[in-house]
């Protein structure tokens, strides 16, 4: 996170992002007039985007967290363009499938039985605002272990009840602070904030943290649909 980086680390990281096309290219593409330009540049830069992101990420190293006193309860914004879906929490099932040995469906009752992890982290939005939030939920790696991922699984696709979709690299998915959250600031997660389940992690920008997650599909390759905003020009790795 920004506040824990030294000036040298900040400069080094910024330079790496510029070299990889991650720093401003994604935002630039959203204002370009042709999809051909976006697709062409995205095809050229994505492998480097991924490789530099993997270089910067320390998969098992926790990000420093904040004390409870630092929580900013009113700072987390709800984007007005979100179409909040109607989800019956009793009928809800989370599906985990794809490159796994044991595809599973879990109810919220099943998920509540798993160990609860709570963390106070900074949520950073690409639009320029940030909020310190306490998230509580289940480590994503614990959920995936139930489905027994295959060795060739390198990516995870997330499908949401509102048809939002995203994809992550497997190292980020398995980071110890990547959660499927069902609590915010010690209270049950609200529907507006993504209930019954949403992604929460200190290692990704906000648009990667899907709300209303209903399905996780592990894959060995990325397909042409990489993410709702990514497919409109935003960077794919989106690491912090």
User: By C-alpha distance, which of 100, 95, 185, 88 is closest to 135?
Assistant: 185
Please check the confidence at residue 9 and state whether its pLDDT lies above 60. no
Q: Considering the domain boundaries, does residue 117 fall inside one?
A: yes
- Determine, yes or no, domain membership for 24: no
In which residue are the tokens 């809800």 written? 92
Q: How far apart are CA 53 and CA 106, in angstroms?
A: 31
pLDDT per residue as tens digits for the range 40-69? 334 434 545 565 555 556 667 889 999 999
pTM, rounded to two decimals: 0.78
pLDDT on residue 180: 98
Task: Provide the number of structural domains found in the chain.
Answer: 1
What is the pLDDT at residue 55? Answer: 53
Examine residue 54 and state whether it is found in any structural domain, yes or no.
no
Q: What share of the chain is helix, strand, coil (3-state, %, to 5)?
A: 30, 25, 45
Average pLDDT, the chain: 81
Cβ–Cβ < 8 Å for 97, 103: yes
Q: Give a yes or no: residue 6 inside a domain.
A: no
Do the domain assignments include residue 111?
Answer: yes
Contact 159, 142 (CB under 8 A): no
Task: Say what percent of the chain tops pLDDT 70.
Answer: 74
| Angle at CA of residue 13, ends 7 and 19, nearest 5° | 135
CATH for 113: 3.90.420.10
* Structural domain boundaries enclosing 223: 60-232
pLDDT beyond 90 at 36: no
Q: Is residue 34 part of a domain?
A: no
């Amino acid at each position: 996170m920004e506040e824990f980086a030294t000036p040298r680390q900040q400069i080094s990281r910024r330079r790496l992002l510029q070299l990889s096309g991650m720093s401003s290219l994604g935002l630039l593409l959203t204002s370009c007039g042709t999809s051909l330009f976006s697709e062409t540049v995205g095809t050229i830069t994505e492998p480097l985007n991924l490789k530099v992101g993997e270089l910067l990420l320390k998969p098992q190293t926790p990000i420093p967290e904040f004390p409870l006193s630092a929580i900013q309860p009113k700072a987390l914004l709800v984007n007005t363009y979100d179409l909040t879906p109607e989800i019956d929490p009793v009928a809800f099932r989370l599906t985990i499938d794809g490159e796994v040995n044991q595809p599973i469906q879990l109810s919220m009752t099943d998920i509540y039985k798993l160990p609860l992890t709570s963390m106070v982290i900074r949520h950073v939005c690409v639009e320029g605002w940030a909020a310190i939030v306490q998230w509580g939920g289940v480590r994503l790696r614990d959920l995936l272990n139930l489905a027994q991922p295959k060795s060739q699984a390198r990516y995870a696709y997330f499908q949401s009840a509102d048809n939002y979709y995203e994809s992550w690299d497997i190292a980020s998915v398995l980071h110890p602070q990547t959660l499927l959250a069902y609590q915010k600031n010690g209270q049950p997660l609200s529907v507006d904030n993504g209930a019954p389940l949403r992604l929460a992690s200190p290692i990704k920008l906000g648009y990667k943290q899907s709300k209303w997650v209903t399905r996780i599909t592990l894959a060995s390759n990325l397909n042409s649909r990489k993410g709702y905003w990514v497919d409109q020009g935003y960077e794919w790795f989106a690491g912090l």
